[in-house]
Structure 1
Amino acid sequence: MIKLLIADDEKMIREGIRRIVDWREYGVEVVGVAVDGDHAWQAFVEHGPDIVITDIRMPGRNGLELTRNIRESGDEAKIVILSGYEDFGFAQEALRLGAADYLLKPVMPDSLVALVLELCEAIRREREDREQAKRQRDQFEASLPLLRERFLQELSLGRWSDGRALAERIELLRLGLRPDGRYWTAAVEPDRLEPASEDDVDAIEPLLRLQAVETLAASVGERGAAFAYGAGTIGLIASIAEGEENGEPEQEAMIRLCKELQATMERQLGFGSTIGIGTAVDGLRGVGGSLRAAIEALRYKAILGAGQVMAYSEIALEGAGSNADSADSIEVWLPGNDAEEAERELVFAVKSADDAGLDERLDRLLAIAANRKDTSYALAVSMRLLGVMAPELAALPYSSPVVFGADYELWIKLRHCSSLPELKRELKGILLEQIALVRQCRDRSEPRPQQWFETTVEYLREHYNEPLSLRKLSELVYLSPNYICSLFKEHTGRNISDYLTQLRIEKAKELLGEQGIKVYEVAHRVGYADSRYFNKLFKKHTGMNLSDYRNAR
Structure 2
Amino acid sequence: MTNIGIKALIVDDEVHIRRGIGASVPWRELEVTEVYEAEDGAGAIALYDEHAPDLVLLDINMPGINGLDVARHIRQRSSVSRIVFLTGYDDFPLVKEAVTLEATDYLLKPVSYEELLEALNRAIRQAAESRRRTGYVDDLKRQLTMSIQPSRLLEAPGGSGSNLLAKELYLLGELRAGREQLERLGALDEWLDELTGLPVPQARMIASQFVLNASRSCIEKGHELEEAQTFVSALSACEAHPAIEACVRDFFALLSEVQQMAKKKPGLNAIEQAQAWIRAHMGEDISLQSLAAALHLNPYYVSRLFKQETGETYGEFTTRIRFEKARELLSGSELKMHEIAAAVGYPDANYFSIAFKKQEGVSPTDYRKRFR
TM-score calculated relative to the size of structure 1: 0.25
Q: With CA pairs under 8 Å and 6+ residues apart, which has the higher RCO, 1 or 2? A: 2
> Which structure has more helix as a fraction of its residues?
2
TM-score calculated relative to the size of structure 2: 0.37
